Structure 1
Amino acid sequence: MYDLLVIGGGINGAGIARDAAGRGLSVLLCERGDLAEHTSSASTKLIHGGLRYLEQYEFRLVREALAERERLMRLAPHIIWPLRFVLPHDSGLRPAWLLRIGLFLYDHLSRLRALPGSQSVRLSTEGVGAPLQPRLTRGFAYSDCWVEDSRLVVLNALDAAERGATIRTRTQVESARREEGGWTATLHDSETGRRERVRARAIVNAAGPWVAQTLLRTLSVEASPKVRLVKGSHIVTRKLYEGDHAYILQQPDRRIVFAIPYERDFTLIGTTDVPYEAGPGRVTISPEETRYLCDCINRSFARAIGPDDVVWSYSGVRPLYDDAAENASAVTRDYVLELDADGPKVLSVFGGKITTYRRLAEHALEKLDLPGLKPPWTGSAPLPGGDMPESDFETFQAGLRATYPFLPDALARRLARAYGTRAERLLGEARNLSDLGESFDGGLTAREVDYLVRVEWARSPDDILWRRTKLGLRTGRAGVARLSRHLAGRSIEVD
């Protein structure tokens, strides 16, 4: 019997599984698809306090998020790093004094100041104003962080597994029922077709957009739906400007849209907030959302873009807690944990944001209060690959380049970013590029593919090209076909 069955392999499920395994519990995590296949890989890819949440008086959420931002920078410096944001002042929208007050609060709600504070900028004379329309002459700059969102999920699952958790992808919890002393769940492995029953003392329902459905249909727990589904979509274009800074652009509907440097040669633009009523499976951007995001850029940037400039887009459904807000953009991003203890316990996760996943996991285990639970530990434990002295990524990367001098600069940096100190496990005794095996598009090699299958639960080209890496942006149909043949021709061996 497991102590805990976690349903859902997004950031919250993986974070809870990791925390629980490190506290001495036996854990089984089941994800019916791939890790981070849905909402957790469809974020704006920011670790941030949420500047706009101050307008909604979400001070506790912002304070907690800012504290987590500082902590996560130290624990995963390979996949999380500082990003400077430029906020142009548009005289027809929020007044400058309101922006200045908001940024002052943002600077001071966190006790730690690892990142530079906010400042005023003259867009008419400073380089960051170059891509913008001449009418935008002043603005502000502040700091937050970037995160490789899907890799954050995978690294939490990997650490959970290394601490004893069982991670089962492509495995659906078809049903579960309460019995004396625990839950009995029926699992279906979609790869093998095999069904099996397992027992668990408690269940965490971290099914994301399916949280209400899982509660009612899978677990047969009567509860009123408390989740509000909101679709968020992003577009990616060729690089719109030079520099490693991002822009946060105010809109007439009082929303904000980000323009962020992405994968060296691209710009990421998002997000939308659209009420969503359909099933939360595969979701795609609508023509209206594409036009909306293009219009958002065109209000501020000198160079206009249109739908034909979009090279890729992605969408996700956010399972927000229904706080009865009229506007989808105003729905709280805070999380709510609901415990049903009418028999063996089940805890359901509503809402949340990627920045606060670690604290959410701590709160979830506190609420479950299972026997034998050890004290919290994740606040000081690096994620796999993040154990760099002083969290110094640049020094680590230089050391990796010295150890493997045959690696092209772009490949060395990508491997350092994706795997951190685990890159040496992947590269092993390689002494030249040919040692890494067949080369695919974008610098992907057979050695890396095999590592991702063996260690990180990758099974399909999409797992590898869009979630473990973002090389789908650089891989054509022929490259996908070659990768598919390689995957089909190898037997799956999992460490």
Structure 2
Amino acid sequence: MNAKPAFSADAAPSSRAIFDVAIVGGGINGAGIARDLSGRGLSVLLCEKDDLAQHTSSNSSKLIHGGLRYLEYGEFGLVRKALREREVLLRCAPHIMRPLRFVMPHNPSMRPAWLIRTGLFLYDHLAPRTVLADSASIDLRHDPAGEPLSAECVRGFSYYDVQVDDARLVVLNARDAADHGARILVRTPCTRADRGAHEWSLQLLMPDGTRATVQARMLVNACGPWADSFLRDCAPGVDVRRKLRLVRGSHIVVRREFAYDGAFIFQNSDRRILFVLPWEDDFTLIGTTDMEHRQSPDHVEPTDAEVHYLCTQASRYLRQPVTAADVVWRFAGVRPLLDDHASDPASVTRDYLLEEDHSAAPLLSVWGGKLTTFRKLAEESCERIVRRLGRGGPAWTADAPLPGGDLSQWTKPSDNPRRAFIDFVSALQAHYPALDPALVRRAARCYGSRATRWLGEAMSPGDLGAEIVPGLREAELRYLVTQEWARRADDVLWRRTRLGLRLPPHQRAEARMRIEAAMDALLSSPSH
């Protein structure tokens, strides 16, 4: 896109402003910390060099899960922590999360049945559950999950985890942070962080090319895969003692070819596991790999060898083989893992470390972590920050809905967040009888109870403005620009809505041009 007048949310902060905390990094950890801190009454600035969730946080396996396979590596503390978070997050955001049944066909050559039963027993009992069902042994010859599987898959096991829209999880945390007073700046790299005795001075490169300086009493380094390089390159004088191990996880997406709406977990011949997940109604998501990533984390793509690996491993279990020609989209994310010197990338710990440096103006660096434990990581981070700064309220996020997650005005009280969401979709569709039910259902899933903020009082599709690309109308785009920091077409197509999946590859370039033209008009409008 060409340069355009600064949107009000992109305007440089006043050079006289002093924030309590500046956060560098707009992934899930940075957004989660910004939300928690601002809700405790601290003044917060978050800057992100690209889009929110553009990298690791939107390129995950889309799961809130304990990590069943981590039990094999003795990571009981991490698994317990993650299992405790599943239902906490499900209740906070029932619109972007849903319980998901996983089925693991038993392959005796991989792991004995007793070992799997023991692992599932621990998985059931390491943390309390009120919504998710128990694990079970199943006969795949009579279970609906057996229909897509090869005839050799006779016995198996089932258990439950939670599926999430990872990119929207980040955006909703940022939105809640902003609603509590935080300043969120996207497309705004921090080019230098100078440390004083009591404050940090940060140099920011604004979206319009100008430079701004802000002050903060404390700095949080939540740069994910860039956490070590940010300190080395942009924070002179800071001693960098940690090293990250970057591990690439690649995924492929194919058209959905079977009716079963649950997930599979397959044991691979190399003793790794493979997820086969329902996604966005009409697609199947297959992943992931664990490959050392030695290049820059700025641009990460699956290799052809990884695509072949995923197709081959999935085809070992499925009746309908998966080929590279079936792939409609591929993506990869780099996991910033603490280097524990494990020989196998799959066994590197997924736990996190919070490192404090109080030698001058305080610094908190976030090393490692995973999507599932982001809220707990943020809570622990904020407890340390509050103690250090001597101000701020108590922890609050465990019981607070994310934006759109409070469905109480639309549904009867329910202890089951999934049931409440299904009722909400029905109520929203009844409220907008003239709109396409599929559009209203997608609006419900993306925005929850905030969907009405752009659906308004629409009595016909035309009330939402022109259709810019299939499924996207002007009213929604305006909301994404003004409320969710969308600045480029891919922010909309691949992170805020996932509508890019439904576009044939040959139409994607034209769709980007149409969206960016509409965004240009919005961002240049005097009313915005």
Q: Which residue of 2 aligns with 1:193?
A: 209
State the SS of the aligned residue for 2:86. helix
State the SS of the aligned residue for 2:523. coil
Q: Which residue of 1 aligns with 2:180?
A: 163
CA distance in 1, matches of 2:181, 2:519: 27
Selected match of 2:489 from 457, 461, 472: 461
Q: Which residue of 2 aligns with 1:211?
A: 227
Q: Provide Cα deviations, 1:231-277, integer angstroms capped at 9, x if missing partner.
A: 11100011132121000000111110100111111110001110111
Q: Which residue of 2 aligns with 1:432?
A: 460
Contact 1:107–1:118 at 8 Å: present in 2 too? yes
CA distance in 1, matches of 2:457, 2:87: 35
Selected match of 2:57 from 28, 40, 55: 40
Alignment of 1:139 onto 2:156: yes
Selected match of 1:229 from 226, 246, 249: 246
TM-score by length of 2: 0.92
Deviation, structure 1 residue 378: 0.5
CA distance in 1, matches of 2:334, 2:224: 9
Map 1:31-180 onto structure 2 (within 5 A). 31-180=48-197
Deviation, structure 1 residue 114: 1.5
Alignment of 1:263 onto 2:280: yes
Q: Which residue of 2 aligns with 1:404?
A: 432
Deviation, structure 1 residue 127: 2.0
Stretch of structure 1 that moved more, 295-304 or 326-335: 295-304
State the SS of the aligned residue for 1:171. coil
Contact 1:453–1:492 at 8 Å: present in 2 too? no
Q: Which residue of 1 aligns with 2:398?
A: 379
Contact 2:435–2:459 at 8 Å: present in 1 too? no
CA distance in 2, matches of 1:124, 1:345: 60
Q: Provide Cα deviations, 1:108-150, integer angstroms capped at 9, x if missing partner.
A: 1112231111111111232211111111110011100100000
Q: Provide Cα deviations, 1:367-417, integer angstroms capped at 9, x if missing partner.
A: 232221210000111000001134411121122112111121211110000
CA distance in 2, matches of 1:123, 1:95: 17
CA distance in 1, matches of 2:300, 2:320: 29
Map 1:339-350 onto structure 2 (within 5 A). 339-350=356-367
Q: Structure 2: which 5+ runs fail to align?
A: 1-17, 409-413
Amino acid at match of 2:377: L
Contact 1:441–1:474 at 8 Å: present in 2 too? no
CA distance in 2, matches of 1:268, 1:143: 17
Q: Which residue of 2 aligns with 1:274?
A: 291
Q: Provide Cα deviations, 1:453-474, integer angstroms capped at 9, x if missing partner.
A: 0100001110000000110011
Map 1:465-484 onto structure 2 (within 5 A). 465-475=493-503, 476-477=507-508, 478-484=510-516
Selected match of 1:202 from 188, 211, 218: 218
CA distance in 2, matches of 1:484, 1:165: 27
Deviation, structure 1 residue 165: 0.3
Amino acid at match of 1:319: P
Deviation, structure 1 residue 56: 1.0
CA distance in 2, matches of 1:320, 1:330: 10
Map 1:248-259 onto structure 2 (within 5 A). 248-259=265-276
Deviation, structure 1 residue 322: 1.0
Contact 2:24–2:221 at 8 Å: present in 1 too? yes
State the SS of the aligned residue for 2:467. coil
**4+ residue stretches of structure 1 with deviation over 3 A?**
492-495
Amino acid at match of 2:484: E
Deviation, structure 1 residue 448: 0.4
Amino acid at match of 2:402: L
Q: Which residue of 2 aligns with 1:441?
A: 469
Q: 1:372 to 1:116 in 2, by over 3 A?
A: same
Map 1:363-374 onto structure 2 (within 5 A). 363-368=380-385, 369=387, 370-374=389-393
Contact 2:246–2:336 at 8 Å: present in 1 too? yes
Stretch of structure 1 that moved more, 270-279 or 215-224: 215-224
Q: Which residue of 1 aligns with 2:441?
A: 413
State the SS of the aligned residue for 1:200. strand
CA distance in 1, matches of 2:284, 2:481: 29
CA distance in 1, matches of 2:227, 2:88: 28
Amino acid at match of 1:262: W
Amino acid at match of 1:377: W
State the SS of the aligned residue for 1:40. helix
Deviation, structure 1 residue 346: 0.8
Q: Provide Cα deviations, 1:434-460, integer angstroms capped at 9, x if missing partner.
A: 001111334111110111001000011
State the SS of the aligned residue for 2:405. coil
CA distance in 2, matches of 1:281, 1:375: 36
State the SS of the aligned residue for 1:383. coil
Q: 1:492 to 1:359 in 2, by over 3 A?
A: farther
Selected match of 2:518 from 462, 486, 491: 486
CA distance in 2, matches of 1:367, 1:160: 18
Deviation, structure 1 residue 492: 5.3
State the SS of the aligned residue for 2:127. coil
CA distance in 2, matches of 1:243, 1:9: 35
Map 1:282-301 onto structure 2 (within 5 A). 282-301=299-318
Contact 1:10–1:39 at 8 Å: present in 2 too? yes
Deviation, structure 1 residue 479: 2.8
Amino acid at match of 1:448: E
Map 1:9-24 onto structure 2 (within 5 A). 9-24=26-41
Contact 2:469–2:514 at 8 Å: present in 1 too? no
Amino acid at match of 1:394: I
